[in-house]
Structure 1
Amino acid sequence: MAANLNLIVILLSISLQIAAAGMALRINRIAGRPLAWALMSSALVLMAGRRLYVLVELYRDGFPQHLLPNEIAGFLVSALMLWGILLIKDLFQSKADQAAKLEEARKASRALADKLTAVMAAAPVPLWIAEDPACRTIRGNAAGADLLRMPVQVNHSASAPPGEQPVHFRLVQNGHTLAADEMPMQRAALRGEDIRGEAMDLVFDDGQLRHLMGYATPLREADGRIQGAVCCMVDVTAIRQVEEALAKAQKMESIGLLAGGIAHDFNNIFQAMVANIEMAQASAPEEARCRGYLDRLRAGLDRASRLSRDILHVSGGDLRRPEPMDLTPLVAEALDRTGVAAIRQLSPGLSRVMVDPLLIGRVVEGLVTNALEASSAAGAIRVQTFMRQVRPEDLAKGHWAATVDPGPYAVFEVSDQGHGIEAGSLPKIFDPFFSTRDLGRGLGLPAALGIIRSHRGGIQVESIP
């Protein structure tokens, strides 16, 4: 009986030591310390081998009974070793699982950051992200950097530490320059506000201004704490300009219709007055004193008639019967009437266009006269005619009729080498009664624009003061 018990205890000890060695090898794979755990596994295998050798020797000696307590103690030691290794294995396994989860979270975070970076880079609108609740570090995409005139890599925050804050622009809302904590992103990050479509102006030190619509929302942790904010600024400058231009065009259309009606009625009155003056002149003797008065009255009526006709042209009226004509001979005849020694670069054989030759001739004469008055060097006026393919983006740059489509257009161009038009006056040159000359009526260019628009064309102006 004692021999059998001895045998069982020794076999169990060997089994536990072999199991402990196998578990040590498994810990080696988990913990990643091959040398230490390989040595422990080898030691346990050697111990198991020694126990096997002892088993063989005891078998030869008939399993002496007095050795049973020693074998039981060895069994207990082997059991404790296996239990300890199992605890260590569980500990390393738990750490390995945590490390794997942390690595997965890091990969997911990097993937999310890469996606966010790609979205920001591809977004055509300015975007910014605050990396902390105080908005001390704000990163923007390429569109945002272009809007602020800053490199993409630098900090865009007005709340940045001194020396890092951008100082070449300011945000203005209702005439008030916003402090850093009043800006949309800072309000979202500091106070948790959702900003939706607030109008503000971006004003640079050089005086340039952009109209913006601001949007911002806080970024929150899972527990609701704010960790930063995201902001978008939509540049609505072009929309504002279009709205202002549309409002101005509608205003000018209303004024033009009113002025055109008045001018038409005045022309009828002037014609009756001129007819009566001509009859009075015909019936008055040559030596009569009244003939001088009649001549001056006729000259005054002619000036009034021209003014009325200009007003009618501003409204786009007075277009009689357009004819299909080549623009080049028409421009040449108008130049001959002015007597101006201009450099002529007139292309023959242009496509025929529907024009009123009298009105187009007046436009050419008026533009050449303006160039002559502005030019400071003799022979510096150049007149050209050519065909041009007008693109959609060209229609946004000039003053065109409302129903103009892209395509081929006949062009006449008048250029001079005068002092140019000041930047502040350039947007006003087609406003009725605006003139930079003391004796100007301010109807020459508005009348020319009205005539060209009535021909479904447009005028583009380039000036270098």
Structure 2
Amino acid sequence: MPARSFDSARFYSIGFAAIALLVVTVSLGLFLGTETRRQFGEIQDSWSDYNGEVGQKGVWISSIRGHLGYGGIIHNFKNYVLRRDEIYFHRVDSQIHQFNEVVDAFLGQTRNEAERKALLELQATIGLYSRNLQVAQQAIQKGRGTAAVDALVRIDDSAAKQALADLEAIWTRTRVMSTRRIFSAVAQGQKLIGVGFASIVALVLAALTIGALLVFMLGDMRAALERLARELSARRKAEAGETRLASVVEQSPATIVMTDTDAKIVYANRRFRELTGWSSDDVSGQTPKFLQSGDTSPETYEDIREKLAGGEEWHGVFRNRKRDGTTYWADTRILPLLGPGGDVQNYISIGEDITERRQAREQVARAQKLEAVGLLAGGIAHDFNNVLTTIVGAAHLASLDAPEGSDIAGEIEQIEIAAKRAQSLVHGLLTFARREPGKPQPVDLCGVVKEVARLLKASVPPTVKLDCSDAVGHKMVMADHTNLHQIVMNLSRNAAEAIGGEEGVISVRVAAVDGTPPELAERADGWMVMEIADTGPGMSAETRARLFDPFFTTKPLGKGSGLGLVVVAGLVEEMGGRIEVDSAPGEGAKFVIYLPATSQPEAAQEQRQSETPRGHERIILVDDETEISATWRRVLMRLGYQVEAYTSSVVAAEKLSATPKKFDLLVTDMVMPDLSGEELANHARSVSPDIPVIICTGYSPSAIDVTGQAPVILAKPIDPQHLARHIRAELDANAVK
């Protein structure tokens, strides 16, 4: 076939057209780029103006309105005049200072005369309130009546209200203008984008046209060599394609494994070898069974075989085993490779290592569960401790009337033990929720083990033997006594429940550690280890992996909350220690806890007196729970005290105001409607500055601010003897003054 003639004029024409198109394209691109940058600059400037000055002024105006609205300066000023409570005086004084700081900041920022006029009007009005606050205080101190004081300090604040309205109107207009500027800049940018897209489409069409002409021209030039070049190019592409394919597969970030139709491995890429630790020689000729960790069910493998046999792809997640025995999670696709005739020639598996992603997701889920536990603990603590307080108090009253050594006395003792266990549970929940932090101090670990053993003997089946022979002597650790008691109790009870009705042994061992345990820091006083082991049924690997997850439990519904071991892990971590678990099915379980040892002597524990201290003083008792106030009243009256009990803090406050010298001591709950225990204590101190105060709370508040001597804070549920000793101590200390 003869080659077509070469037309040089057409060649040069097409070349000049291509150069012209290139110049037009570059010029248009520079123009569009410049205009786009300018429009983005305009949007940025307008947004900065909106988000900066307008946004800040909005915050200041909101703060000013808050100071002038309900609960603000004017409202608290009127409350002070009407109620004459010094707390309102201090609130007004503090709010005036805060108001002046906001207005001064606003004045330093704005140059708008209308805004400055409105701000100065507001400042002048609040200045009148500031001066009249002192006038009102002096008038109240002189004993003048409410109407007279109100008439003396009454202020017309209509001008201030109008000034605030003007200030908000100016801000609204400024915000609208800034918004319009943003919208205008965005609209111009959108138009520019439309022009750009239209220009690009036109240039593409022109380029396609010239490209077609160039192809036609090159066809004329290379007609003679076309067949030879095509054959040579095809050969080179085939060779390069094979090389690239091999390189891509070998360097792929995914694991790629190819098997024959008998599922024997014929190829595994570099990523697979690096991830699993197996070499090509190790896996060649084997089936993928050596990767199985035992977590995949037989039904899954059957599903894989059925889909591959039908020519379909299978997708799922495997937990595979590495050469060193560890495992990894792989998101895997297995598909058949078909030959030219449509028959299956090989199978290929493509996997992605998702171990880190899965662990991150599990950590997020665990954190969400921990947060839920924290909210739950804080929500129920107050009410639950109130119930326990009633139980403990009623049991104490019953024990006073029960004959010593009688059956009823034994039953009452069991009630007290159960209440203390419930108290320990609530304390653990509060500690876990970080609402009640522990107080580390030197504690005898063996002594705590003996305390728990005494409590467990009354609750574990007789078939379960508790062996504490390896927990002898004095092994001192730095820990919170109550938290340590909770750890030993939870692990021991879990061991007893694991053994169930079968015969078994729970053994507790305490010993000093030689050297420093793994993953823990070296300490001058070293470390102590406590091991709690049982001969129960043991745990599977899956159960061990989820053992410290919130709400995870293997117990039947209603038999466990899944929080006990979570609390234990949190307490051990708070003490600076570490907990390990060693268990296998049929081999029991062993918990190993490392705790910081100490050479300091044990902190002095409160010595219980043989007899509860008594008295005859007058006590005012306040708790909004009727059962608690009634129980405490009966307990204290049995001890000889004269007690007036109230379930309304407001009524109690009125009683204190009416007879401020009648009472020798105030005992009050913390969380109550109308007036909290803190507010009631401050009111009591305002009418009787020297009155001792004991505040009882279901959970430890962050801070309690009471004027005068700091009150005694007791955590519910309160042991009656513990309460009686604190009452006696406060009354005796006040009598010495």
Q: TM-score when scaled to structure 1?
A: 0.46
Q: TM-score when scaled to structure 2?
A: 0.32
